[in-house]
Structure 1
Amino acid sequence: MVTILLQGFVVLAMVASVFTFVEEDVNLDLAQYKTVPCYLALFILAEIFELLMAFDALRLRNVIQLVGILAFHVGLIVFASIQIHETKAALVGNGQDKTWHKVLPFLIVSPCILGASLLALMWWIRALYFEFGWAIFHVVGANPQMKTMYQFYQIMICLLKFDFFCFIGVTSQLLIVVLQKNSAEFGLTIAAIPVVLFLLAGAGVAVQREIKWLMSVSLALMLAAETYFYKLVRFYEPSSREQYQTTRATLTVFTIVAFLLLFATFAVGLRCFADFDKGLQSSKTHDITRRRKKVYSSAPVSHKLGADDDAEAVQYDAGGRLQPRISIE
């Protein structure tokens, strides 16, 4: 958490400096320069998202989500590198060479800081991988089949969270930088926001609660959402390519990643759907943080365990101290 927080402060300071220098020399209300405020907005969103994802992964002891954070961090490095090219296209292409040379050092620092923090995160996550080794065992027990099903459930929830960020990233770039408010495409993009949010939230609830009809609707909407990939053609066809000139590279990367993530979410969703009604629902709906509170204490066991006692009250916890003698009737 501290690593992500510190690198976030440094990177946002660099991006804010770029924004300030550009704002001094050019009019950011012009379409060709809107890539700079969009760049700042996306990085603020990305750093907050990464911090919340790290907190959530640590709270749930979710190793899969920690690995996802590493992949997301690599994506941030790629995004920061692409922004060097896009900022140059916006400034140099419009005769702002002096401003470009002024902001170039700040643009270079961002991917360097992100690369250094990636190495630190890899070290932390490697240590946490061994620390959280017993987490899934506490939730589903020693059954290998149950463990596999629970891992697919964790992957599904993790993918839905990253789908949300990619969707927000693509949509914000289209609305801030590219589309005109009086265009039909602008209205369609606005209308798609509640539909996609319902899709992601509905899929999360359906896979956790094992609601079959809602899961079916969510999977169908995922297939329909794949048609949004046609936007990639719009970025490069002659009739509209000038409209996307300053953000084409970033939008292309975001769109392709969003498409691949949504396709992976659909595939994993089918796998999770096949695991419904196989005894995993109680493990999904009971948060691991609640289960960790039910551990052995150092006080003597003063009662006998009956057949009706809660089975979860007697379980192992990493590092917990076992009683020397337990009477079972």
Structure 2
Amino acid sequence: MAISEGFKKMPLASQLCCWIATLQAVTIIGLEIGILVYVLKNVENVFNTWSSDKGVAIYFLLLVIAAIFGVFLLVGGVMNGDTIQIIGYCAFSLFGMSLAIFRYYQVRSWLLSDFYDNVFQDIQGPMLASIGVMAGMTVFFGVMAYFLYNTFGWEIYKRVGADMKIRRMYINYRLFVLLLKIDFFVFVGFAVSYIILILKSSDPEFAITIALVPVTLLVLLLAFWSLRRESVMTMWVFIVLLCASTAYFVYKCARMYDPKQEAKFAKQRPMMTYYTIVSLVVISATLHQAVTCLANFGYGLKERVEITRGKRSDMEQIQDYYVNAAGDRRMNLDG
């Protein structure tokens, strides 16, 4: 009920974005289900052997999850007045579109090399339609993000005031939270792809890779807790673990091109290389933001965020906003 009431109170442009994002996700999911079902019916040995090309299933899974995750980002950003998350949704849409384009060329190469020309001709239309929907919606939401930015600009001002230093710290804070959400999608997507495409259940890495999913979630929750509490020690722990994950992805990427691993990666190398590069880019951005937010600890942002979340009393709020270090009442614009 509260969510429904909050939705009705949103500006018309915000409601329109939520409905269109949901419609986009439903359309993409419908197209992807149709593609997968058709391929499974008309192509042999998609899942029967370890060496078969199971990439189409992974593309389907990633695009479906990306569509759902995108709606989560946009609706959450709109309902919370989080401009950073809305802009992040536009960037995430670009990733989904690039994945759909990559999928098109990979599936075409796979089907044509295995003499399934007729199957490719039949699914070519839905694959191109999926790319077209993503491209059109990316442009649309890019334009809408501009209007939403103006709509929520006043909300950001009310939350953190006019102090430009606090505003910059708050933007870095929200950007780091956004990257933590995207990190989980990227890490889980890589783990699932690696398990299905590369590993056998008898491989020592199989159990380790599965265990990485809950471990990743715990590490990201640790980072979020550290950010909210401004805990220097635990944030440093997260930064060290993030550096370790960077080394892990670099190792995985190098291993793909090891001649001894040719049998495992022969068909899956392009897909896994692409996803590894995307993962490294996201990890690098997260590492940068983690260090930036760590440098901002102790400069008053925590108290401002607590005020916006209603965790501090009105008297504390008045003090923070209107009393300077000398004890004189001043407007925040005097900074």
- TM band (smaller chain): 0.7 to 0.9
1:229-283 Cα shifts (integer Å, max 9, x gaps): 2111222332223423443323222211211211221121111112112211122
- Aligned match of 2:47: 29
Partner of 2:6: none
Matched, 1:224 2:244: yes
Shift of 1:156: 0.9
Alignment partner, residue 36 of structure 2? 19
What corresponds to 1:189 in structure 2? 209
- Out of 93, 97, 107, the residue aligned to residue 77 of structure 1 is 97
1:199 to 212, 216, 219: 219
The alignment status of 1:234 with 2:251, answered yes or no, reads: no
For the 8 Å contact 1:35–1:90, the answer to whether it is kept is no
Question: 1 CA distance for matches of 2:219 and 2:77?
Answer: 23
In the superposition, relative to structure 1, how do residues 52 and 286 fare at CA in structure 2: closer, same or farther (>3 Å)? farther
Which aligned segments of 4 or more residues in structure 1 are displaced greater than 6 angstroms?
none
Counterpart-to-counterpart distance in 1, 2:315 and 2:183: 43
Q: CA deviation at 1:216?
A: 1.6
Counterpart among 153, 160, 185 of residue 165 in structure 1 = 185
SS, match of residue 240 in structure 1? helix
The corresponding residue for 1:327 is: none
Which TM-score applies when normalising by structure 1?
A: 0.84
- Give the structure 1 partner of residue 301 of structure 2: 280
Distance 1:287 1:177, change over 3 A: farther
One-letter amino acid of the counterpart of residue 32, structure 2: V
Shift of the alpha carbon at 1:179? 1.1
Counterparts of 1:310 and 1:109, CA distance in 2 = 52
Match for 1:144 among 152, 156, 164? Answer: 164
Q: Which amino acid aligns with 2:246?
A: E
Cα 1:56–1:285 change in 2 (3 A) is farther
Q: Does 1:65 align with 2:85?
A: yes
Tell me whether 1:270 sits opposite 2:291 in the alignment.
yes
Structure 1 runs not aligned, ≥5 long: 292-306, 316-329
Shift of 1:47: 1.0
Aligned to 2:130: 110
Give the aligned partner of residue 2 of structure 1.
19
State the AA in 2 paired with 1:40: F
Code of the residue aligned with 1:247 in structure 2: it is Q
Using the aligned pairs only, state the percent identity.
Answer: 26
Post-superposition CA distance 1:267-304 (Å, at most 9, x none): 2111111211221112234556x69xxxxxxxxxxxxx
Alpha-carbon spacing, 1:310–1:146, altered in 2? closer, same or farther (3 Å)? closer
TM-score normalised by L of structure 2: 0.82
Tell me the distance in 1 between the aligned counterparts of 2:56 and 2:210: 22
In structure 1, the residue matched to 2:318 is 311
Q: Is the 8 A contact 1:60 1:287 kept in 2?
A: no
Letter in 2 for 1:143: D
Q: How many equivalent residue pairs?
A: 298
2:331 paired residue number = none
Partner of 1:294: none
Q: 2:270 aligns with which of 245, 249, 257?
A: 249
Q: Which residue number corresponds to residue 178 of structure 1?
A: 198
